[in-house]
Amino acid sequence: MKNKKILIIQTAFLGDVILALPMAQTIKNHLPEAEIDFLCIPSTSSVLKDHPALHAVIEYDKKGGDKLDKFIEVLNEIREVEYDIVICPHRFFRSALLTYYSESKIRIGFEENSLAFLLTNKVKYIKDKHEIFRNLELVKQIPGLEYDENKVSLKPELYPTVEQKEKVRHLAGRSNLISFAPCSKWYTKQLPAEKSQEIILSLINKGYNVALLGSDADINYCNELEKKVKDDSLINLCGKTNPLESYEVMTHSKALITADSAAQHLGAASGIPIVLVYGSTDISFGFYPLTPKYKIAEINTLDCRPCTDHGRDKCPLGHFKCMYDLNAGKITELLEGLI
């Protein structure tokens, strides 16, 4: 098993990539001489920068241009390396094809993979088990690896550069700083802007400073919030920090309030207390902070929840009570109970 070449394929969202890191870390702990590469989409690759468990990061741009040409290009790149083992926690079609056509003799994934019959080693995808533990079941399928719980690395490790740390260092002087990440790619996982405003004002009234975090796609949402709040205690960093810089902001914060998005996994990696706000999703899908200090804010009296395991573009019933009925004051109380 000494110099095995291993590829992890996870071409889903940023949170999924972060939750796949414990696989790489655990494999490296068991097989220090293995070369572990990671294939992901360009928008998630920055979070893997300078990770000591990884030998190389391969970017696969699935969007735009000629999709077949891009697929063939990245497949050729994979084949050139001649991987001994390919592990694919991503359960969808293109990732499954890359796994199969990699020509690796050992192809590991979930039974629920869309092309599971092309895998050599399969494990059951247990829906309510945390994603990190689900992924680690794949590691156990590596032939010859003697799985040792003492060598398991559960917390994703992230490595901001000196420049990235310096970029947000000014926040270290802010007392009672709370990171707030209200946005999501999916409407039904994202806090309505009015509710976010209530939460921010509740925090400010209690003497907190608030660092507003989000991606480029969330800039309009966060800029409107900034205009409505009109208070120097709100620092709008949306679109101004990449994932590792947002992670670094969190390390300067007392706690994080976040929608069910990648931000919760950045927060868990940073080790700070987390209030996770669930809308259409809930804890039963295995995506929650794997940390001892977290609370969940949700409306658990609605028969329509959870309405999806992934997120929707609109509330299927039109009322979106899972978010609109949340009490901003109670969310602040949950946070204060943690810190």
CB within 8 A of 120, min separation 6: which ones?
105, 106, 107, 108
Share in percent of the chain as helix, strand, coil (round to 5)? 40, 15, 45
> How far is 36 from 300, CA to CA, in rounded Å?
42
Domains of the chain: 5-151 (3.40.50.2000), 162-338 (3.40.50.2000)
**Which pLDDT does position 3 carry in this prediction?**
66
**The predicted structure's pLDDT at residue 109:** 95
Contacts of 132 (CB under 8 A, 6+ apart): 19, 22, 154, 290
Ramachandran sector of residue 248 (left: φ over 0; alpha: ψ -120 to 50; beta: rest): alpha
Q: Can you give the pLDDT at residue 82? A: 96
Strand pairing class (294-297; 255-259): unpaired
34 and 27 in contact (C-beta within 8 Å)?
yes
Q: Which residues of the chain have pLDDT under 70?
A: 1-3
Query: Facing residues of 37 across strands?
Result: 7, 56
3-state secondary structure of 216: helix
* Burial of 276: CB neighbours in 10 Å, binned 0-12, 13-18, 19+: buried
The model carries a pTM of: 0.94
